[in-house]
């Protein structure tokens, strides 16, 4: 059964969503992220994807107090990402209650540091962020598209022990147009044992069922929940009864 992982994106310690990573297309959904996290927990959710968008912009961790609050007031397993660039950032994230961290741009731009994190903390605590545009890896808040293909990029880290990968098709993120099925099929065919977490474009429970049928282990959804396309009741029912 696929694991539903809601996303909370943070700007100014508020729960927001961007469209295609554009800070100018920002919607504030709730000024109290803890309230949102507790709502997820009440629906039987066990994991949370917490993204520090201020940190992504500042290139260092910013919203660690929100992380600490949610980690101390819920039982959610939190993976935290956004702007993690240094050993100190990682230390703060883990000390604030993150059980896992996600690194994307740093895995492209500073491979040595990212490999050091895998060796230091273990691959169960480090998630590879593989965000792509036309199957090429994008970095720096999706402002730059690299010359690395997504499959080459994933392979370069699975060979170093990485087990979990969050893959977002940028063109679909926040657009509610459905997930990038073909991309995920391609990834799963090449890496059948990968803990792939699909992200971007989820518009309804139907999309989640389709990913589940493909054998995708996890799915991140944000806007569909905040816009009421997926209700807490649907998630609760799913978590209790499966499909």
- Backbone phi, then psi, for 57, in 5-degree steps? -75, -40
Domains located in the chain, CATH noted: 3-238 (3.20.20.70)
Residue pLDDT, tens place only, 224-235: 999 999 999 999
Known active-site residue 9: yes
Q: Is 129 helix (H, G, I), strand (E, B) or coil?
A: strand
Question: Exactly one of 9, 54, 169, 212 is catalytic; which is it?
Answer: 9
Tell me the average pLDDT across 48-69.
Answer: 95
Known active-site residue 87: no
Residue pLDDT, tens place only, 81-97: 998 999 999 999 999 99
pLDDT, mean over the chain: 93
Q: In angstroms, rounded to a whole number, what is the distance separating the alpha carbons of residues 107 and 75?
A: 29
Q: What pLDDT does 175 receive? A: 67
Question: Exactly one of 89, 131, 169, 173 is catalytic; which is it?
Answer: 131
DSSP string, 1-14: -PEEEEEEEEETTE
Strand partners, 80: 50, 101
């Amino acid at each position: 059964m696929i694991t539903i992982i809601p996303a909370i994106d943070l700007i100014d310690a508020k729960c927001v969503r961007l469209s295609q990573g554009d800070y100018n297309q920002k919607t504030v959904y709730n000024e109290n992220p803890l309230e949102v996290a507790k709502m997820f927990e009440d629906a039987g959710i066990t994991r949370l994807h917490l993204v520090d968008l201020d940190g992504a912009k500042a290139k260092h961790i910013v919203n660690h107090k929100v992380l600490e609050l949610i980690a101390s007031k819920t039982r959610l397993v939190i993976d935290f990402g956004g702007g993690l660039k240094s050993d100190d950032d990682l230390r703060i994230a883990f000390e604030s209650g993150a059980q896992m961290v996600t690194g994307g741009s740093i895995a492209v731009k500073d491979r040595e540091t990212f490999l050091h994190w895998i060796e230091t903390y273990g691959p169960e605590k480090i998630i590879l962020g593989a965000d792509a545009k036309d199957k090429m890896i994008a970095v720096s808040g999706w402002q730059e598209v690299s010359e690395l293909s997504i499959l080459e990029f994933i392979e370069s880290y699975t060979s170093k022990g990485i087990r979990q990968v969050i893959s977002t098709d940028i063109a679909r993120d926040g657009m509610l147009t459905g997930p990038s099925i073909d991309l995920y099929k391609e990834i799963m065919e090449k890496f059948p044992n990968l803990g792939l977490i699909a992200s971007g474009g989820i518009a309804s429970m139907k999309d989640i069922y389709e990913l589940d049928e493909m054998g995708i282990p996890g799915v991140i959804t944000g806007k569909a929940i905040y816009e009421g396309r997926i209700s807490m009741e649907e998630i609760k029912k799913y978590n209790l009864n499966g499909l």
